[in-house]
């Protein structure tokens, strides 16, 4: 039997600016679980979700994977992804807007690089999840 009581049932006992807290009585010592303690935490989670949404596309993952091995021109990325130049430019713009990649002009060629190589750790983690599901 699930004996979860939401903070709303506690009335004014919940501190101001704190999202609902769950009391899980089936845990030892009545541990309190508060996944999002403050509005600031909620804003951070929202920003993190936006970054993950920016990565949530096969073509963008392919671009990030390629850039993890070094800089690459927009033309080479276009050939790699196999889509038209306009579509790849839009993907690159999404990644750039979220601080994942950056581009610099070298004559009439734009060279892209990965700004946050730590996203590769996330991709490795996602691969591990897939392996463990089998």
> Are residues 77 and 24 part of one domain?
no
User: Per-residue confidence at 95, pLDDT binned at 50, 70, 90?
Assistant: very high
Burial, 48: exposed, middle or buried (Cβ in 10 Å; 0-12, 13-18, 19+)?
A: exposed
Full-model pTM: 0.69
Question: Domain with 102 in it: what CATH number?
Answer: 1.10.10.10
Domain hosting 65: range is 56-126
Same domain, 29 and 64: no
Residues 62 and 9 in one domain: no
Tell me, yes or no, whether 79 lies in a domain.
Answer: yes
Split at pLDDT 50, 70, 90, the class of 48 is: very high
Over the chain, what HEC string results? Answer: CCCEEEHHHHHHHCCCCECCCEEECCCHHHCEECCCCEHHHHHHHHHHHHHHHHHCCHHHHHHHHHHCCCCEEHHHHHHHHCCCHHHHHHHHHHHHHCCCEEEEEECCEEEEEECCCCHHHHHHHHHHHHHHHC
- The larger pLDDT score, comparing residue 3 to residue 96, is at 96
Do residues 63 and 94 share a domain? yes
One domain, residues 68 and 29: no
Per-residue pLDDT tens over the stretch 69-90: 999 999 999 999 999 999 999 9
Residues composing the chain? 134
Mean pLDDT of the chain: 81
**Total of domains in the chain:** 2
């Amino acid at each position: 039997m699930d004996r979860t009581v939401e903070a709303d049932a506690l009335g004014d006992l919940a501190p101001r600016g704190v999202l609902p807290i769950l009391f899980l009585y089936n845990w030892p010592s009545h541990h309190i679980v508060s996944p999002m303690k403050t509005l600031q935490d909620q804003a951070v989670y929202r920003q993190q979700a936006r970054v993950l949404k920016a990565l949530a596309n096969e073509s963008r993952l392919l671009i990030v994977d390629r850039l993890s091995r070094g800089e690459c021109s927009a033309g080479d990325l276009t050939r790699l992804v196999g889509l038209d130049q306009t579509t790849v430019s839009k993907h690159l713009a999404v990644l750039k807007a979220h601080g994942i990649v950056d581009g610099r002009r070298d004559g009439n060629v734009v060279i892209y690089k990965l700004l946050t190589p730590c996203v590769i750790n996330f991709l490795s983690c996602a691969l591990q999840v897939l392996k463990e599901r089998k």
